[in-house]
Amino acid sequence: MTDGFNAALTEDQQTLVKWLHEFSTDVIRPAAAEWDEREETPWPIIQEAAKAGIYSMEFFGQQWFDPTGLGIVLAMEELFWGDAGIALSIVGTTLASAAILGNGTGEQIGEFIPQMFGDEKDVKLGCLCVSEPNAGSDVSSLKTRAEYDEANDTWILNGVKTWATNGGIADGHVVVASVDPSLAARGQASFFVPAEFKGKGLAQGQKFKKHGIRASHTAEVVLDDLRLPGKYLLGGKDKLDERMARVREGKRSGSQAAMATFEASRPAVAAQAVGVARAAYDYSLEYAKTREQFKRPIIQNQAIAFKLADMKTRIDAARLLTWRAAWMGRNQIPFTAGEGSMSKVFAGETAVWVTEQAIQILGGNGYTREYPVERMHRDAKIYTIFEGTSEIQRLIISRAISGVKIA
């Protein structure tokens, strides 16, 4: 389904790409190696992004609602071309924002999202907590419970969330919890936990040391008798009660809290992977033109030139799948063949493959931390894991194209 799809960028989109590319070149890329080694959230760079007008609700809102659907994927590709770890620290808040946009009321959207961004003088972060130690791919089996204390119109949350990007350091956490475990995913709801509950029922657990995207903070979030006023249930209690009643009667519910968020964000995540792949391709192309062995640039060997040809071909194919999915998502064209998942699995695996080829092109240099491609290779691997593993994406695509309940 591509009727009306147009891959030609408007003038505004071209300006956006140029502007973000400059920011990535001047601010993100020079800081990449340092923050990868420090394995810490690059607050000064996020602040620079806020000052430039990139880290803001308005900026991401504008890209998210670009009628062509391409604004957000163009932004992701350019920022992640700069560096994936830093860029994830800059855009991590958008995942939690998407959960609020997808599940919250108009009033909640207006009140909660700004709390996660702060402003250029005092930047804040947002975090989406879905995964748990025993519920990663299988989000229907969340153990975190939300129990309602009707007398006090208060929700009591208990459980442990894991691998949360910005977990514990965020000023706004969106937590997906089970209200009625017998209904599995359809008995779940999303809650916004504002900063005032940090240390009062919400605490950071262990921070993980990772293989890649090390400038992005990943940690456990522990919920211990967190007493949350009723207004923090996204969408409100009436809507939740209605939805669960429909499910109990055997009717379909409108949406599943966690899955709705992931569906919408898949092309954006695919675009991040395209950015990482393009960064490694650009670097290795230049290297191959200047590195000489046997008295000629190594690109004059077909073995190297053909690698670069394949890298470019796969990157462009990944981008086109990503743009198509972003366009379909924005125009509410259903993903009848799992097009969102196609973009994520293909772009993710392309990033891993391309970054590995880049190391090969750089030879020994590529294997050292003196050169950026080994970092890009470590960073790329996350794209076959988070926001649905490659296997889960294939499950979604194969079920969509066959109509068969493939396990």
Q: Which stretch binds ligand FAD (CB under 6 A): 40-48, 189-197, 235-243, 381-389?
A: 381-389
- Judged by beta carbon, residue 213 or residue 273, the one nearer ligand FAD is 213
Is-catalytic flag, 387? yes
Using the minimum distance from each CB to ligand FAD, give the nearer residue, 172 or 366: 172
Q: How far apart are CA 79 and CA 82, in angstroms?
A: 5
Strand, helix or coil for residue 336: coil
How much helix, strand and coil, in percent to the nearest 5, is found in the chain?
A: 60, 15, 25
Least distance (Å) from ligand FAD to the CB of residue 218?
4
Residue count, binding to ligand FAD (CB under 6 A): 21
Decide if residue 397 touches ligand FAD (CB under 6 A).
no
Residues 148-187, one symbol each (x = binds ligand FAD by CB under 6 A, - = not), give ---------------xxx----------------------
Q: Which of 107, 374, 387, 391 is catalytic?
A: 387
Site string for ligand FAD, 81-120 (x = CB under 6 A): ----------------------------------------
Say whether residue 236 binds ligand FAD (CB under 6 A): no
Which residues face 177 on adjacent strands?
189
**Between residues 70 and 128, which has the closer beta carbon with respect to ligand FAD?**
128
Alpha helices in 234-301 (DSSP H): 237-248, 257-290
Instruction: Give the separation between CA 176 and CA 190, rounded to whole angstroms.
Output: 4
Q: Are 205 and 168 in contact (CB under 8 A)?
A: yes
Question: Rg of the Cα trace of the chain?
Answer: 22
Judged on CB neighbours under 10 Å (0-12, 13-18, 19+), 271 is buried
Is residue 382 near ligand FAD by the rule CB under 6 A? Answer: yes
Determine if 392 is a binding residue for ligand FAD (CB under 6 A). yes
Q: Are 222 and 205 in contact (CB under 8 A)?
A: yes
Q: Which residues bind ligand FAD (CB under 6 A)?
A: 128-131, 136-137, 163-165, 210, 213, 218, 382, 385-389, 391-392, 395
